[in-house]
Amino acid sequence: MHNAIVFVSIIPMKEVKIETTFEVYDAIEELAPSIQSLIKKAAEARKKAYAPYSEFLVGAALELENGEIISGNNQENASYPSGICAERTAVYYAGAEFPNQKILRMAIVAGSTLNPTTKPIPPCGACRQALSEYEVKQKSPMELYFMGTSGQVAVSKSVENILPWIFDKTVL
Ligand code: THU
């Protein structure tokens, strides 16, 4: 015969719920002209992406507090993990060249040349983590506008909104 010890907790566990809200626009024309122009810069950057392996082209454009626009695109590599996403190309350049300028917003245009989509394509997890570093650093939200090759645009008011409960410097 086996003896079993069963622990029954009388303290109820706490459930933590995190909610996220987005705005989704049907077309770029529904946004302010300055935002449209940022998205167009991201679309231009996308056309210059170096993505011969995935054929998935991504362009990003970010606007700094001083009005400067920095763009970037994905840069792939024959050694696949050595490549880097568009968002990180742009944000690291901004961090390198303009370390004291806040990033107000970033537009991202993404899509495969083989399978174009009109649905918004959100940034990958690694890019969310990288972007959040700068949002935490600058202590103010970075708006994100993301879309496929055409059609709908999704808007997130901050990076934290799409990466809540972040691992950041406050936990180190
Ligand atoms: N990619 C980006 O540039 N940004 C993202 O947020 C997701 C993925 C790139 C990486 C790779 O070159 C290609 O898209 C396919 O994953």
How much distance in Å is there from the Cα of 26 to the middle of ligand 1? Answer: 23
Mutate to test the pocket of ligand 1, among 47, 74, 121 (most ligand atoms within 8 A of CB): 74
Domain positions in the chain are 23-171
Which DSSP letter does residue 82 get? G
Among protein residues, the one with the nearest Cα to ligand 1's atom 6 is: 123
The pLDDT, as a whole number, for residue 86 is 98
Beta bridge pairs of residue 107? 61, 145
Between CA 140 and CA 163 the distance in angstroms is 15
The pLDDT, as a whole number, for residue 2 is 63
The tokens for 97 are: 């060249």
Between CA 41 and CA 63 the distance in angstroms is 10
Mean pLDDT, rounded, for 144-172: 96
**pTM to 2 decimal places:** 0.92
The CATH number of 23-171, from 3.20.140.10, 3.20.20.450, 3.60.20.10, 3.40.140.10, is: 3.40.140.10
The finding on whether 63 has its CB within 6 A of some atom of ligand 1 is no
Type of residue found at 59: G
The finding on whether 124 has its CB within 6 A of some atom of ligand 1 is yes
Question: Strand 23-25 vs strand 69-73: parallel, antiparallel, or unpaired?
Answer: unpaired
The finding on whether 76 has its CB within 6 A of some atom of ligand 1 is yes
| Each residue's pLDDT tens digit, 110-150 | 999 999 899 999 999 999 999 999 999 999 999 999 999 99
Q: Is 160 a catalytic residue?
A: no
How much distance in Å is there from the Cα of 56 to the middle of ligand 1? Answer: 7
Cβ-based neighbours of 167, under 8 Å, separated by 6 or more: 129
The pLDDT, as a whole number, for residue 170 is 92
The finding on whether 56 has its CB within 6 A of some atom of ligand 1 is yes
Q: How many CA atoms lie within 13 A of 48 on its CB side?
A: 10
Residues in the chain: 172
Mean pLDDT, rounded, for 26-35: 98
